[in-house]
Amino acid sequence: MTDFTLDCFLESGNAYKAALMLELSSADWSPRRVAFFTGQTRSPEFREMNVMGEVPVLTHHKLDGDVVLSQSGAILDYLSRKFDRFGPANEDERREILRWLLWDNHKLTSYVATYRFMSLFQKKTDDPVTQFFQARAVNAFKVLDAHLGGRDFVVSGHPTIADLSLCGYLFWPEQIGMDLTAYPNIAAWLDRVAALPGYKRPEELMPSGMDPSTATA
């Protein structure tokens, strides 16, 4: 058994945030496929593990009992403290990391993920609700691109869990209606994230929640 098990699936950018953190930290971990598209997260068994019914769920297998965590931000914080990686250098950075984690969950990932799900998987591209989420996502892209002007990473000169959280869905620009040429600072930042030692794309880390041929469980 590995030290960590991540309940996840390829199509989830939130799961990718945790998977990328584990991989960049050289953790001993394994993915466990969640069949999201056939409703596994709504099952009583999954809800017993995570009442929120969402991925990712991280299990840290310990001799004195497993630690089970959900929500990507909480998982990133836990792993950062565990491995002493991608964390703050001081108290000011700690607050700034928290600020961007909260903004990501509320203003970026929330809109981007919903737009992607409705347009890509539900094929509701012309739905006014889908278009509303796309417009909100574009506003978030503009905020992030402006912030990254003159910066290598989101919080400071070194990568933190804020970067790993914010990039979760952005390596699929064509799936989220994002023309990276319109956001040069984001494009350059994503290149820097992808250049981190140990970086892997989502499809290299997690099985699909849609295609049974990639199932690991």
Beta strands in the chain (DSSP E): 4-8, 29-33, 57-60, 67-70
C-alpha 71/C-alpha 124 separation (Å) is 27
C-alpha 204/C-alpha 90 separation (Å) is 33
Q: Which residues of the chain have pLDDT under 70?
A: 211-217
CATH of 91-194, one of 3.30.43.10, 3.40.120.10, 1.10.1060.10, 1.20.1050.10: 1.20.1050.10
C-alpha 109/C-alpha 56 separation (Å) is 14
> Tokens at residue 135, please?
């417009």
pLDDT of residue 165: 98
> Which amino acid is present at 120?
L
DSSP per-residue string spanning 92-141: HHHHHHHHHHHHIIIIIHHHHHHHHIIIIIS--TT-HHHHHHHHHHHHHH
Tell me the CA end-to-end span of the chain in Å, nearest whole number: 14
CATH of 4-85+200-214, one of 2.40.37.10, 3.40.30.10, 3.40.640.10, 3.40.50.2300: 3.40.30.10
pLDDT of residue 213: 55
The fraction of the chain above a pLDDT of 90, given in percent, is 95
The structural domains of the chain, with segments of one domain joined by +, span 4-85+200-214, 91-194
Secondary structure element (H or E) that encloses residue 58, with its range: strand 57-60
pLDDT of residue 217: 36
Q: Tell me the CA distances in angstroms from 51 to 15, 71, 74, 76, 123, one per residue in order.
A: 17, 11, 15, 19, 28
> Tokens at residue 76, please?
């990133």
